[in-house]
Each structure stands twice: as structure tokens, then as C-alpha cells.
Copies of this chain bind each other. A is one copy, B any other.
Amino acid sequence: MKESLNALKELLISDLTPRTEIDRRIAELKQKMASHHVSFSIILQNVDLLYFTGTAQKGVLIVPLNSDPLFFVEKSLDRAALESPLEIIPVKGDRDIKNILVEKHILKGKGGMEFDVIPVIVYERWKSLLGADDMVDISRLIKEIRLVKSEFEIEQIKRSGKIISKVFEKAKEAIREDMREVDIAAIIESEGRIQGHQGFLRMRGLNQEMMNAYITHGYSATIHSAGDVPISGVGVTHAIPQGPSVNRVKRGIPLVIDYGGGYNGYITDETRTFVVGKLQDMFKKAFDVTREIVEDATEYGCEGKNGTDLYNRAFELVKRAKLEDFFMGYGEGKVSFIGHGLGLEINELPVITPRHSITLREGMVFAYEPKFIFPGKGAVGIEVDYIVRKDSLERVTDTSIDVVCV
């Protein structure tokens, strides 16, 4: 097995999480736990486990407020040991964990769990196993820690962005009149894989599902989504009502490609507008407003600015162009945000919306996506990813935001 594991390490194209990262993350969790009077945290969801342990193997992380974290692993022990800087405690099941926790007197006071993702059945089992009555939700604390990215994380995000750039280049080569949206998806998803895409993207919460590539064209971009996104596409079946469809590309009509990069767990999410020939005038005019909005945000944004101001500035440009009715959707399909946080999941904090004020801090990373959707006709838009810096918003990719004419 040892030999195999060395070979395995050789196969991973991306870096393992450094010990300094893990130590800092756990220290931050303890700080938050202290201020919320949580005595011990039970981390079960694989993305949070990955964040706090460095591995996504099957295990449970217990973080007691006043002692060292205990990382129980069921399988694979070898792979977890290879990937996590934490000491591994091998267990066969939950009972072993309980016995150790009782022995170490850890089960006192208030316990914390990830209420936003842990199913009732798992929660009930843990509560009864531990004999713990006083459990509280720590998902908000975890999200707040994950909100600000370290330079290690930003490096992964930039690598993730490079996959997007390659994919958009490939799209430019591939798109032809009369192709189906799914055919374009087939080509660019394939390119993503070749460029090192991790395989799939993660979205947190019940019923949150997503694909790597959303190719929408003309009216397929205008169909309302079940999800809280401005454009989701029709899909090929009512069973998965999102993503590319068999709709065929026509000249002059915008083709919107929203693609999610994924590298070492980190997600990037950008959109470009493509067209065969030249964009029809109404689309061109709206597209120019989305470009103005992105240029204004790039100019204006930096640490200390407020997310709501960013939204409001965009909305001023929308009003000036008299396009309010189509901004970020229309009717029941309209969404209330223009940006969303990125990290190990695609729906992280911050949300850039008029509904909640948030002051930008260095290291926050978010997708910014002004889009217009014209009922039945088509959509245009841009989505770029920003890293918040002291004096600027740094773009994750350097891919042009212009309409791509093919």
C-alpha cells in the first residue's frame, strides 16, 4: 500500500493543504466557538472536513474548545494520513468515537453541528449516540471563516480560473451556426477535463445541484429556473431542468456560456457572451451596459467598500439605460443579487445584493454577473470573478469581457 500511496501522491496534479492553513482554520473556529459559547464542534460534511482537515476521506472531526482537535477516520486511513496534517484516529464506526469522547470528557456543554447540511437522521443519531441535548448550528460560523481566502486558497482559485480561460478559447474555436447547445457543452466540458478540471462543482444545501457548463442561446436563456440564478437553461429533460439543451445556434442571437472552473476543490465561475456574426442591436445595447457595469465595479471596488453600493452603482447604469425590467431576470425569474462568493462551494459568502450590507475585506472572492434577460428573445451578460484587495478588485482571469464574435 505504501508504494501505491507514493504513486498516488505523484498522480495528484495539485498541492495538498499546508499544515499552517489547517492550524489557522481550526484556531479561527475555536475563536468563533468561544464567542458563541460552543464547547465542542462536530464536523461531518465532506467540504467542511476538507477545509478543516485537508482531506475529504470518510471521517469526523471533533474540535473541542479547550483541547486539540480529534480527527476520526473510517476510510481510507492511508489516504487520509497522506493528505491531512492532523493525527489520524482510526475508527470502525460512531461507537468508537463516542467511547473516546467520553473517556476524554469532551461531551460537556453546548455542541455545534452543521445544521444547514446535516440530514435529520444523522443529527438524531449523533445526538442519541453522544447523549447530547444541547446542540446548536455552527454553519454560519464556518461560512464566516471560509469567507476570507488565504493566499494559498487564492492561488488555487487562480489555477481554477486558468481552466476557464482555456475553455473560453476552445468555445471560440468550436462554435458554429446550427450546433446544439449540448454539442458545445460536450466540447468545452471535455476541454476543461483535459486542462485539469476536478470533475464536478459543489453547491451547498438541500436540492442545490449544478453542472460545469451552462450554454444558453436565444429563448433557452430566458426560461425561468427552479434555482436562485438569473439564467439556468432548459436542460434536456424535466428531470434535470437546467443546463444546455438541443436548441440550435442561430446567427445574430447571443449565446451565453457560463462555465465553472474547478481546481483542487476551488471553484471559479465566469460568463461570456458569444455570437455567430454580429449581435442584433437590442442585445448589443444591453450588452454594452453589462460591460459598463463590470468596468465600473473594477474601477470602484476595493477593501472597505460596501457590496450594496456595488449593486446600487450597477443599478444606476441599468436605470439610465431604462433596462430595469430585464436586469438579472424578469418576472418570477428575477434574482436579487449581482454577485456571490466563491470557494470550495459556489454559493459562499459574500452575496452582493441590496438586501444585505457587507463591507468588502481583503481576501474575499466573488463572482460578479450583470445580466439582462429579454422574455422569449434571449439574454446577454458577463460574469467575472474578483479577489478583493486593499486598493482594488483583482480579476481572477485575464480573459477579455468583450462579446466573442465567431
Contacts and interface: CB of A to CB of B under 8 A. Distances in A.
A75 interface: yes
A222 B7 CA distance: 11
A225 B75 contact: yes
B237 A198 contact: yes
Nearest to A376: B4
A193 interface: yes
Contacts of A1: 331, 375-376
Interface in A202-257: 202, 205-207, 209, 211, 219-220, 222-227, 234-247
Nearest to A124: B115
A119 interface: yes
A78 interface: yes
A198 B117 contact: no
A282 interface: no
B56 A239 contact: yes
A161 to B, nearest CB: 16
Given A1-B376, A196-B236, A234-B8, A75 B332 contact: yes
A280 interface: no
Nearest to A57: B226
A14 interface: yes
Interface in A358-381: 375-376
B332 A16 contact: no
B13 A226 contact: no
Contacts of A12: 234-238, 245
Nearest to A120: B115
A50 interface: yes
Interface residues of A, number: 94
Nearest to A200: B211
What is the oligomeric copy number? 2
Q: Which of A12, A115, A265 has the most CB of B within 10 A?
A: A12
A333 B78 CA distance: 11
B14 A236 contact: yes
Given A79-B223, A118-B119, A240 B11 contact: no
A45 interface: yes
Contacts of A224: 75-76, 78-79
A145 interface: no
Contacts of A245: 11-12
A197 B46 CA distance: 27
A185 interface: yes
A325 interface: no
Interface in A154-179: none
A240 B56 contact: yes
A193 B187 CA distance: 9
A137 interface: yes
Nearest to A198: B240
A77 B207 CA distance: 17
A122 B194 CA distance: 39
A190 B200 contact: no
A54 B44 CA distance: 32
Contacts of A205: 119
A80 B244 CA distance: 19
28 contacts: A1-B375, A4-B219, A4-B222, A8-B220, A11-B247, A54-B238, A56-B239, A57-B241, A58-B227, A75-B225, A76-B224, A76-B226, A78-B224, A79-B224, A83-B238, A115-B119, A118-B206, A119-B119, A185-B193, A186-B189, A186-B194, A187-B190, A198-B235, A198-B239, A199-B240, A200-B211, A239-B264, A240-B265
Given A8-B223, A116-B121, 17 more contacts: A7-B219, A11-B234, A11-B236, A45-B207, A46-B226, A50-B239, A56-B240, A57-B226, A75-B225, A75-B333, A83-B238, A186-B191, A186-B194, A198-B240, A199-B211, A200-B200, A202-B209
